[in-house]
C-alpha cells in the first residue's frame, strides 16, 4: 500500500471561515491533510482554535511560515492582508497556497501574486467553492454548447445572515462583531465602499461563473445599480448582447435561495447552490429544454470546499492542471473589480 503522509496545513487567520469551513472540510480528507498550525494575532483565539484542531498555534505569520510541519498555507485573514500573506507563503517555499476570496484588494495585487507564483512555481488557488463545485464542473463540460447561446445571466443570492450556518457547522470561538448599521448619509464615497464590500464579499462567489457566459465581459456596461435594504445589491447590465442581473441580499429568516440562471435560445440552466458553510454535498444543476424535459446534474456527495482542497492537494504534488491558472483567477478578479467599479459609478450617478 502506498501511504503518503498528509500535508500539514497552516491557517493564517482563525476566524469563522477557518473554524466553520476549512477545519470541518479537512475532517473529510484525513488522508490528504492534517491541521498543523493556526496563526492569529489574537493569541487566545489562535490557541483555542488550534487546540480543537490538534494543531500548534502562533501569533505571527513569520512563525507559521518557519514551521517545517506546515506544507501548505490557507490564507483566511481579512482581505486587506491576503496579497502580502500569499506572497510571503510563496517566498517561504511552501508547497501550495489556498487564499480565501477575494484574492486581493486590487488588480495590481492580484498580478503581483500571479508573478510570484510563476516565479516560484508554487500553485495558488482561490477558495472559490462554486468554481470547484462538482455540479458546476459538470456544467462546465457543456459550456462549449451553452455559452455561445446564452442570452441572459442572472445571479440571485438571498440568504440568512451567516451566523446561523456557522453555528450549524461548528462551535464558533469568538465571532467578530458584525457592523450592520446603515450609514447616515449616502455620499459617493459611502456608496463606492458599500458596493465594493458587497461585490467582493458576496457577489464574488458567482462572478467567475457569470464570466464564463460572457465572452465579451470586458465590454460590460451597467444599466442600473441599487443598494437593497438593509444589506444587498441589485445590478443590471449587459455585455456582448447578453443581459446580466446580479441580486444579493441577506435577511432575517431561515430560507436560503442561491441560484445562477442562464437562458439560452432553447434551454434554461439553473444551478442552485447550498449556502456557505454548509457541508452537505454539491449544488444541483437543472437544464430545462423547450419540451419541458428537465435534465438534473447532482447533487454529488462532495461540495466545492472538499473539491478545492483535493485540487490543492493535487497541485501541491505537481498536478498544476488540477486548479485554474492564476491568469484565469486574475481575470476573474479583474471582472469582480470591474463590476464593483462600474456598479458603484452607476449608483453614484443615480444619486446625483
Partner 1 sequence: MTLPLTIAAEAPGLQQRLRKTLATLPLSYRAPDDRADASVMLIAGNGDWAARAAAAIDAGARGVIIADPGITDAGSILTLADRAERAGAVVELAERYAGDPTLLRHRADLIQHLAATSTILMSQVGAFATPAHAALDMVRTAHALGQPLTLTHVWQVSHAVVVRGTAGEKLFEGMATSGSGGAGQRIDALGFGRTLRLSLRGDGSASPSDLRIANAKGERKLSPVFESVDRAAWLRAHAAVDGGQSDGQALRQFADAVTMIQAL
Residue ranges in contact with partner 1 by CB under 8 A: 151-152, 154, 156, 158, 223-224, 226, 228-230, 232, 234, 236, 238, 241-243, 245, 247, 249, 251-255, 257, 261, 263-268, 270, 287-290
Q: Of 87, 124, 75, 82, which Cα lies nearest the Cα of 106? A: 82
- With respect to partner 1, which residue has the nearer C-beta, 34 or 153? 153
- Cβ atoms of 182 and 230 closer than 8 Å: yes
- Cβ atoms of 147 and 212 closer than 8 Å: yes
**Closest distance to partner 1 from the beta carbon of 92 (Å):** 45
| Peptide linkage before 55 cis (omega within 30 of 0) | no
**Closest distance to partner 1 from the beta carbon of 136 (Å):** 18
Kind plus residue range of the DSSP H or E element containing 38: strand 33-39
The residues near 172 (Cβ < 8 Å, ≥ 6 apart) are 16, 19, 20, 163, 166
**Closest distance to partner 1 from the beta carbon of 344 (Å):** 18
- Cβ atoms of 20 and 165 closer than 8 Å: yes
DSSP-derived 3-state class of residue 303: coil
DSSP-derived 3-state class of residue 202: coil
**Closest distance to partner 1 from the beta carbon of 264 (Å):** 6
- With respect to partner 1, which residue has the nearer C-beta, 126 or 239? 239
- With respect to partner 1, which residue has the nearer C-beta, 224 or 341? 224
Given the C-alpha cell 477558495, which residue does it identify? Answer: 127
**Closest distance to partner 1 from the beta carbon of 44 (Å):** 34
- With respect to partner 1, which residue has the nearer C-beta, 54 or 252? 252
- With respect to partner 1, which residue has the nearer C-beta, 232 or 299? 232
Amino acid at each position: 500500500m502506498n501511504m503518503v503522509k498528509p500535508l500539514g496545513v497552516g491557517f493564517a487567520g482563525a476566524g469563522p471561515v477557518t473554524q466553520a469551513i476549512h477545519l470541518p472540510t479537512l475532517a473529510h480528507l484525513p488522508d490528504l491533510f492534517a491541521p498543523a498550525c493556526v496563526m492569529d494575532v489574537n493569541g487566545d483565539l489562535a490557541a483555542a482554535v488550534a487546540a480543537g484542531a490538534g494543531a500548534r498555534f502562533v501569533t505571527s505569520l513569520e512563525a507559521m511560515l518557519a514551521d517545517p510541519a506546515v506544507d501548505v498555507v490557507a490564507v483566511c485573514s481579512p482581505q486587506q492582508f491576503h496579497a502580502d500573506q500569499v506572497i510571503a507563503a510563496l517566498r517561504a517555499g511552501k508547497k501550495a497556497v489556498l487564499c480565501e476570496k477575494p484574492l486581493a484588494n486590487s488588480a495590481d495585487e492580484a498580478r503581483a501574486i500571479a508573478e510570484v507564483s510563476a516565479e516560484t512555481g508554487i500553485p495558488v488557488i482561490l477558495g472559490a467553492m462554486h468554481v470547484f463545485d462538482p455540479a458546476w464542473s459538470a456544467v462546465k463540460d457543456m459550456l462549449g454548447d451553452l455559452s455561445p447561446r446564452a442570452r441572459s445571466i442572472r445571479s440571485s443570492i438571498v440568504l440568512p445572515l451567516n451566523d446561523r450556518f456557522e453555528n450549524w457547522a461548528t462551535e464558533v470561538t469568538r465571532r467578530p462583531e458584525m457592523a450592520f448599521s446603515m450609514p447616515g448619509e449616502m455620499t459617493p464615497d459611502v456608496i463606492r465602499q458599500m458596493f465594493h464590500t458587497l461585490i467582493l464579499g458576496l457577489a464574488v462567489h458567482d462572478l467567475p461563473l457569470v464570466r464564463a457566459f460572457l465572452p465579451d465581459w470586458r465590454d460590460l456596461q451597467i444599466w442600473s445599480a441599487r443598494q437593497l435594504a438593509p444589506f444587498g445589491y441589485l445590478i443590471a447590465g449587459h455585455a456582448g448582447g447578453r443581459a446580466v442581473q446580479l441580486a444579493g441580499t441577506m435577511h432575517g429568516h431561515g430560507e436560503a435561495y442561491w441560484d445562477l440562471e442562464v437562458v439560452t435560445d432553447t434551454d434554461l440552466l439553473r444551478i442552485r447552490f447550498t449556502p456557505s458553510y454548509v457541508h452537505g454535498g454539491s449544488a444541483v444543476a437543472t437544464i430545462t429544454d423547450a419540451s419541458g424535459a428537465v435534465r438534473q446534474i447532482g447533487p454529488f456527495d462532495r461540495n466545492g470546499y472538499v473539491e478545492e482542497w483535493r485540487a490543492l492537494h493535487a497541485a501541491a504534488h505537481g498536478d498544476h492542471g488540477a486548479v485554474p491558472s492564476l491568469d484565469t483567477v486574475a481575470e476573474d478578479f479583474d471582472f469582480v473589480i470591474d463590476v464593483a467599479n462600474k456598479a458603484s459609478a452607476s449608483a453614484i450617478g443615480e444619486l446625483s
